[in-house]
Amino acid sequence: MAPRRPRWPGDILARSFFHRDPRIVGPQLLNKVLACADGRAGRIVEVEAYCGAIDPAAHTYRGKTRRNAVMFGPPGHMYVYFTYGMHWCCNTVCGDDGEGAGVLIRALEPLAGIELMREARPKARRDRELCSGPARLTQALGITGAQNGIDLVKAREGYTVVDDGMPPPEFVPGSARIGIREGTDLLWRWFVAGNPHVSKA
């Protein structure tokens, strides 16, 4: 008997969506949904763009390594990295194959599978703390290094990004990215104003 295909909560984004400059993709990812095959899903409410060789804050600024190789691959894949010796963070690979660009997903508004998220993050005191930060959301959705390189467009490996009909905010001014030492003058962070699940307003 063939395995049951998950019912995703919207239309899976096409590869052409990601095959663009991450500074275009980033704001348009707001209000899309990052979904897991087990039913967990969250609305993307905060993102940051990283632009390869022109961006000193990008992991890919100095070229391709074993760690960042996925970022140089085809758009529409997930790049997952380990940071501070304890946290995973996830990105969508964007731009041209070989460009080394992507969008970091910084925060989600939990939509479904919230009980599973609570089990994954038992120390979260409130639901607004489940996914309000890049490390929190990976914990809540069970994303680890095992997901590094999966294809979000084909959606055969348990995760994807979908459009459930909610458009991005009409006006999304850029702001400085968080937790970086270089490229602090580049306003490549965007978030849904007023949403309580954003990591930092």
pLDDT of residue 1: 47
pLDDT of residue 45: 98
User: At CA 147, angle to CA 141 and CA 153, rounded to 5?
Assistant: 90
Residues of the chain with pLDDT under 50: 1-2
pLDDT of residue 201: 65
pLDDT of residue 197: 97
- The share of the chain scoring above pLDDT 90, in percent, equals 93
- Spatial contact of 106 and 199, defined as CB atoms under 8 Å apart: yes
> CA 191, CA 1: separation in Å to the nearest integer?
43
176: nearest Cα among 163, 166, 188, 193:
188
pLDDT of residue 116: 98
Statement: the pTM of the whole predicted model exceeds 0.85: yes
176: nearest Cα among 192, 195, 191, 197:
191
Please give the structure tokens belonging to residue 105: 């997903």
